[in-house]
Structure 1
């Protein structure tokens, strides 16, 4: 199934779920709250995955097991998703990333990290990289939410009424809270200096470019613009809808392996390559 629109992806995947599962799932108490995650440990820079709006770590089922075979890797569910206990704090990037940092510290995962974020998870990883650049070895954005995603033509009031109604009916209170805090997170991302400390790969969904509605044109322009927020970023257009982790997981695996090669001791960075539609 192709998911060209981030909105439709959230709605449809909330109903369908994922057939595969993540291996070796566990829970641990972190700062008084239960957190669900899976972790593999090897002698590499840790790869940290962040889920999109309304999504659980099962979106990474085609990617995490492959990476975890020979790299340190962690997938987890944010507060209020899966078996992770809900939190009472604002569901913005600042609180979500501080909770993630607490989990990483509790599991003995020391920086720097390769950050991989899909959709809204990409916005959270942008927040992390800009506010804690010393913690980051590389940044991989997977059809990431733009910091200004809900500004201008993308504002919620411009969504079709039926989409707004379905979103309210099918998404959790936690997802609604994250959406409500998206502008705050985006503003804080743009207020901080761009991350430039390591490789940045932007994987963008090419199939939505075919849509010509006003809302889609705005979203697609922001897809094109997001790489411009990070000088030196490599943008690659993937023949996929929005949910690249399920539709074209090999593109993400390849990007992770590429940056892992550049983040190991005594390694050198490869020449940047651009791939535009």
Structure 2
């Protein structure tokens, strides 16, 4: 009989303990008052020097987010969890940039973005994005394609500079679906863009400075700051405000090009900048800034350059013209266009005018290449590497062989005489020419002969006229807009 009691009593004690644990753990006590929380934070991490609590925000019954301010003016965050009969401080951070708090790492419905922005950064809103890059791959002779994901959400900071954002339902469904298939791509991520007054991107210098201390296991993920050009434009440019300022990535059919659209809606032609070989939109910054005061301006990164995706098409001028047309269509920008083309970009402008003549109001050639220039020098002149190596591997904007093919394309396009009735301005830089100024001028004169409405201007500048003498190029574009020639 004693043996049975001896066995029963410990058993009952264990059962009571289990029931008690489940009871108390299932019903957490009220969160401590502010003085207790401040004391606990300073004891765990004295460098935080917490002086005041801004709010106490429960995520659920067992997890609480507490934004605070310190004596030295830092705006920080603390993360609390109910565990083993008490509220435990899991992490304290003296900076307030966004993080993702994952209560259950495998269930996105328990994921929250938290932040506490420093008012000195003068931010008005935050935009959060769930982004998944598109991808294509082949496995066992089966082609697979993963479309791009770009889901955004805007949070106003007008009332509070801190906050908690549960993952939206569409984010949860997408992420959990990938988790269930065990295929959540490393290319899928969450990012944010901070905006100040007048909708301008503003870097949060004060918010991101600080340090942190963690205690125990804790699932917290960093949220990286995005650049606007990492986004893809999915709207209609004509539906935007009167003042247009867009710098985003635009899908043109399975790959994306980064475009910068600045200006105002007007009855004047849209100005499209076409860079020279390997050039980016930055080279047009001065011109775009000035001309955007009177009309819409467009610059972009060709496929493979900057943040633009690589293209499945060869890098000939005809294909570049096709991609430019797709880009303008995707942005729903209607012509007529004045194309301002530098160097080898002149080939692309000519192919564009040949393929889409009704869209081109005029072309300003800025020290443009001429096909005979390449035909006269079919072999590239480089000090290192065999001719075969150099011709096939110049860079992402094309090989020398593709340059030669482009020259043949524009030579062939002259049969259509597409530029005959299009106004063209030919700007010629007369300094530092490898072939000599007289030979270069002859090439430019041949370009001018392509139209019955041409104007040629020689300029005391090198090849980059638009960077050396931007005011002259701006005036020539305006002259074309105003039909002065």
Range of TM-score over shorter length:
0.7 to 0.9
Separation in 2 of the partners of 1:223 and 1:204? Answer: 7
Separation in 2 of the partners of 1:183 and 1:226? Answer: 13
SS of equivalent to 1:61: helix
SS of equivalent to 2:257: strand
Change in 2 beyond 3 A, CA 1:212/1:117: closer
Give the unaligned 5+ runs of structure 2.
Answer: 1-228, 230-244
Q: Are 2:251 and 2:330, in contact at CA under 8 Å, matched by a contact in 1?
A: no
Q: Are 1:208 and 1:220, in contact at CA under 8 Å, matched by a contact in 2?
A: no
What is aligned with 2:120?
none
What is aligned with 1:9?
none
Q: CA deviation at 1:180?
A: 4.6
Of residues 250, 265, 272, the one that matches 1:48 is 272
What is aligned with 1:151?
375
Separation in 1 of the partners of 2:284 and 2:270? Answer: 16
Change in 2 beyond 3 A, CA 1:236/1:217: closer
What is aligned with 1:86?
310
Q: Are 2:393 and 2:399, in contact at CA under 8 Å, matched by a contact in 1?
A: no
Equivalent positions of 1:154-165 (< 5 A) are 154-157=377-380, 159=381, 161=383
- Greater displacement, 232-241 / 37-46: 37-46
SS of equivalent to 1:204: strand
Equivalent positions of 1:252-267 (< 5 A) are 252-262=473-483
What is aligned with 2:329?
105
Of residues 220, 226, 230, the one that matches 2:447 is 226
Q: Are 1:136 and 1:197, in contact at CA under 8 Å, matched by a contact in 2?
A: no
Q: Are 1:91 and 1:181, in contact at CA under 8 Å, matched by a contact in 2?
A: no
Change in 2 beyond 3 A, CA 1:110/1:60: same
Q: Are 1:133 and 1:197, in contact at CA under 8 Å, matched by a contact in 2?
A: no
What is aligned with 2:261?
39
Of residues 425, 431, 435, the one that matches 1:207 is 431
Normalising by the residue count of structure 1, what TM-score does the alignment of the two structures yield?
A: 0.76
Q: CA deviation at 1:89?
A: 1.0
The structure carrying a bigger strand percent of its residues is 2
Q: Does 1:133 align with 2:357?
A: yes
The CA deviation string for residues 104-132 of structure 1, in whole angstroms up to 9 with x for no partner, is 11112112111111001111101112332
Change in 2 beyond 3 A, CA 1:175/1:92: closer
Q: Are 1:34 and 1:85, in contact at CA under 8 Å, matched by a contact in 2?
A: yes
Separation in 1 of the partners of 2:246 and 2:278? Answer: 22
What is aligned with 2:249?
27
Q: Does 1:175 align with 2:401?
A: no
Change in 2 beyond 3 A, CA 1:81/1:71: same
The CA deviation string for residues 15-72 of structure 1, in whole angstroms up to 9 with x for no partner, is xxxxxxx975211212121110101242131111101001111111221111112211
Of residues 286, 290, 295, the one that matches 1:62 is 286
What is aligned with 2:338?
114
Separation in 2 of the partners of 1:131 and 1:232? Answer: 20
Higher relative CO (Cα under 8 Å, sequence separation at least 6) belongs to 1
Q: Does 1:75 align with 2:299?
A: yes
Normalising by the residue count of structure 2, what TM-score does the alignment of the two structures yield?
A: 0.45
Q: CA deviation at 1:229?
A: 2.5
The structure carrying a bigger helix percent of its residues is 1
Change in 2 beyond 3 A, CA 1:248/1:98: same
Of residues 116, 123, 142, the one that matches 2:366 is 142
Change in 2 beyond 3 A, CA 1:189/1:183: same
Q: Does 1:187 align with 2:187?
A: no
Give the unaligned 5+ runs of structure 1.
Answer: 1-21, 263-269, 273-277
Q: How many residues align?
A: 238
What is aligned with 1:95?
319
Separation in 2 of the partners of 1:116 and 1:167? Answer: 29
Change in 2 beyond 3 A, CA 1:36/1:233: same
Q: Alignment RMSD, CA only?
A: 2.8
Of residues 468, 477, 481, the one that matches 1:247 is 468
Select the structure of larger CA radius of gyration.
Answer: 2
